[in-house]
Amino acid sequence: MKTILRQRVIVSLLMVSGIVAWMILGVVANGVMAQTTTEAPPATSAPAPGGTPPAAAPAPPPKIDTGDTAWVLTSSALVLAMTAPGLALFYGGMVREKNTLGTIMQSFIILCLISVQWVLWGYSLAFGPDKGHIIGGLEWVGLAGVAMDQPNADYAATIPHQAYMIFQAMFAVITVALITGAFAERMKFSSFLVFSLLWATFIYDPLAHWVWGVGGWVRNLGALDFAGGTVVHISSGVSALACALVMGRRRGYGKEHMAPHNLPMTVLGASMLWFGWFGFNAGSAVTAGALATSAFVVTNTATATAALAWMVGEWLYRGKPTVLGAASGAVAGLVAITPASGFVGPLSSIVVGAGAGFFCYGAVLVKSRFGYDDSLDAFGVHGIGGTWGALATGLFASKAINSAGADGFFFGNPGQLWIQFVAVLAAWALAFVGTFIILKVIDWTMGLRVTDEDEQLGLDLSQHEERAYSKG
């Protein structure tokens, strides 16, 4: 008893001091570094819809548009649905029955945890006033200065600032939830909560600032990421790889049968993901009009193509098309089109989707050769799919689709591909190294995995004392 109490006291002190240190850093940075001036960045989540004002009149002040606001609020709800029930059921059906609730709980509780973290300090760190091009300040902690009745012209000129904030909150939520696929069936619930909070604060918030925040260095380079190929998918996917490597394989991996226990549940989840993803991509236009429409269309097209590609690949390689393959292919397509969705046309999106289907299927095949247990292929689908999507954006982006974007390799601008590559590298580095450190710290203080007996018993009973399916 005494040792557990001591451990808990140590961890609590560590967490509190960590948060205090971070806040001190924020205050100091606030004073020391000059406010950076914003260069005109290529629009990522706030593209200008194109019209030029008449030469003589000055631009009118930003005004709230009810159509844009309705669309962004709806999209926020759609993206929430991607996490719960979408991802919860997608992952939940893929684990063994004894871990169903544990897996669903992880997605559900991340929605709760990060929703609050975002309002308290996450949004401020990610999108707040720039500090040294690497992080936002603490000026917006507790949503101070984030109005419900005024737009923030830097990010979305025609919707209330809080609408943009809550839309982005759902992105932070699902990013953290995606990682759970890597350590399914073996992570201690308490450690998982601490991990999620630290990861959101020290990996997601800075990366979102780099790529989307005004003043962020990756944004200033000109990298294109419409809805989160780097910020959401590469970050979660590569972090998943780090988790799989640090935490080790599940007990009995390679010998025991670990087949999905409820594939209908998985397909239900994948369908929900597809449905909600229209909010993720088309919502990132933050306007209701041409750009949102284009993003919607390419999202659907790429996803459908990717599902077909995975199915065909599996059919050729193994001899049978599978339901899990079709659903996984669709998710891979959704991932890959994410960064490109506001910059590419429908025919390009077919190529993006086909690539996602084939590359991600290949990735899950070679996984066994490397011997790591990324249980639900978070790296194979999100890490690889996100990397392909971010690079494909550099290939197929066209200013004809989005004049606030850029042209890609195949549209006369090979330099964009290099910029995308730098962004991809930055995301990989932060995700892998940062996650590795966080995992090690938690492992040394609290331990990451459940005990062997608890893993045998299953998370549902050992972590939550509940059964997913009561027998009569």
Partner 1 sequence: MKKVEAIIKPFKLEDVKDALTEIGVFGMTVTEVRGFGRQKGHKEAYRGTEYTVEFLPKTKIEVVVPDNLAERVVETLLRTAKTGSIGDGKIFVTNLSEVIRIRTGETGDRAL
Question: Applying CB under 8 A, which residues contact partner 1?
Answer: 94, 257-260, 318, 320, 322, 324-325, 328, 364-368, 377
We find the least distance from the C-beta atom of residue 351 to partner 1, in angstroms, to be 23
Nearer to partner 1 by Cβ, of 209 and 382: the residue is: 382
We find the least distance from the C-beta atom of residue 175 to partner 1, in angstroms, to be 22
We find the least distance from the C-beta atom of residue 368 to partner 1, in angstroms, to be 6
Q: Which residues contact 132 (CB under 8 A, 6 or more apart)?
A: 29, 33, 36
List the one residue out of 64, 71, 179, 173 whose CA is nearest residue 112. Answer: 173
Long-range Cβ contacts of 316-325 (<8 Å, 24+ apart): 317/365, 323/263, 323/267, 324/94, 324/260, 324/263, 324/266, 325/361
Please provide residue 46's backbone torsions phi and psi, each rounded to the nearest 5 degrees.
-135, 70
Letter string b/e over residues 431-455, b meaning 16 or more CB atoms within 10 A of that residue's CB: bbebbbebbebbeeebebbbeeeeb
State both tokens at 13.
């002190």
Please tell me the distance from the alpha carbon of residue 391 to that of residue 381, in angstroms, as a whole number.
15
Nearer to partner 1 by Cβ, of 318 and 440: the residue is: 318
We find the least distance from the C-beta atom of residue 251 to partner 1, in angstroms, to be 16
Nearer to partner 1 by Cβ, of 163 and 364: the residue is: 364
We find the least distance from the C-beta atom of residue 272 to partner 1, in angstroms, to be 20
We find the least distance from the C-beta atom of residue 301 to partner 1, in angstroms, to be 24
Please tell me the distance from the alpha carbon of residue 337 to that of residue 328, in angstroms, as a whole number.
14
CB count in 10 Å sphere of residue 17: 10
We find the least distance from the C-beta atom of residue 179 to partner 1, in angstroms, to be 18
We find the least distance from the C-beta atom of residue 364 to partner 1, in angstroms, to be 4
Nearer to partner 1 by Cβ, of 77 and 324: the residue is: 324
Please tell me the distance from the alpha carbon of residue 12 to that of residue 464, in angstroms, as a whole number.
22
Letter string b/e over residues 309-335, b meaning 16 or more CB atoms within 10 A of that residue's CB: bbbbbbeeeeeeeeebbbbbbbbbbbb
- Strand ranges, E, within 8-117: none
State both tokens at 392.
């494909």
Nearer to partner 1 by Cβ, of 136 and 260: the residue is: 260
Q: At what angle do helices 235-247 and 384-396 cross, to 10 degrees?
A: 150
What separation, in Å, do the N-terminal and C-terminal C-alpha atoms of the chain show? 37
We find the least distance from the C-beta atom of residue 369 to partner 1, in angstroms, to be 9
Nearer to partner 1 by Cβ, of 2 and 257: the residue is: 257
State both tokens at 2.
């005494």
Nearer to partner 1 by Cβ, of 370 and 418: the residue is: 370
Nearer to partner 1 by Cβ, of 228 and 260: the residue is: 260
State both tokens at 181.
């696929």
Query: Taking every pair of C-alpha atoms in the chain, what is the biggest distance, in angstroms?
Result: 77
Nearer to partner 1 by Cβ, of 185 and 377: the residue is: 377
Give yes or no for a cis peptide into 414 (omega within 30° of 0).
no
We find the least distance from the C-beta atom of residue 183 to partner 1, in angstroms, to be 17
CA quadruple 25, 30, 34, 35: dihedral, nearest 10: 120
Nearer to partner 1 by Cβ, of 44 and 328: the residue is: 328
Please tell me the distance from the alpha carbon of residue 399 to that of residue 409, in angstroms, as a whole number.
12
CB count in 10 Å sphere of residue 73: 18
CA quadruple 243, 248, 253, 259: dihedral, nearest 10: -20
Nearer to partner 1 by Cβ, of 200 and 258: the residue is: 258
Nearer to partner 1 by Cβ, of 91 and 121: the residue is: 91
We find the least distance from the C-beta atom of residue 332 to partner 1, in angstroms, to be 11
